[in-house]
């Protein structure tokens, strides 16, 4: 049993890496054909466990499903308002943001998030085509 669980975890982690910021449902759906024995509950549990152990990141935006990112390096995300897709954003420097907040209200900042919103490439070209 233990061995099987370890194997399932590895399979789910590989699938997470192959997909682009997927939701748990997307991971599960993509695995059904190859691994029909892995249940939806297992996928949710394993992804939650990876996030809890710092092996994956949970991306939460109000009103959308939680997405997972295997890349736990420091980076930010751009969210598509139309399809919900998430793209990576790399900033050269966000140094000072935390310090500015501290100066303004005496609050000691030990973390922050930066989120970008807009339209992904596929959705922007769909909009352009509609306008034609």
Site for Zn ion, rule CB under 5 A: 69, 71, 80, 82-83, 85, 88, 120, 123
Minimum separation from the CB atom of position 18 to Zn ion (A): 14
List 57's β-bridge partners, or say none: 69
- If the CB atoms of residues 12 and 79 are measured against Zn ion, the closer one turns out to be 79
Q: How far is the CB of 92 from Zn ion (least distance, A)?
A: 17
Residue 65 CB, shortest distance to Zn ion, in Å, is 15
Q: Is 6 exposed, middle or buried (0-12, 13-18, 19+ CB in 10 A)?
A: exposed
Beta pairing partners, 62: none
Residue 10 or 126: the one with the smaller Cβ distance to Zn ion is 126
Q: To which H or E segment does residue 2 belong?
A: helix 2-18
């Amino acid at each position: 049993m233990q061995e099987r669980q370890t194997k399932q975890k590895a399979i789910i982690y590989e699938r997470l890496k192959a997909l682009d910021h997927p939701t748990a449902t997307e991971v599960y759906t993509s695995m059904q054909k190859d691994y029909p024995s892995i249940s939806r509950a297992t996928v949710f549990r394993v992804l939650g466990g990876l996030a809890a152990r710092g092996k994956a990141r949970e991306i939460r935006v109000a009103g959308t499903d939680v997405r997972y990112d295997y890349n736990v390096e420091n980076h930010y995300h751009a969210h598509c308002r139309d399809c919900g897709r998430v793209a990576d954003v790399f900033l050269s420097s966000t140094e000072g943001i935390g310090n500015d907040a501290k100066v303004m209200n005496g609050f000691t900042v030990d973390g922050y998030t930066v989120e970008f919103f807009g339209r992904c490439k596929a959705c922007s070209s769909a909009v352009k085509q509609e306008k034609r």
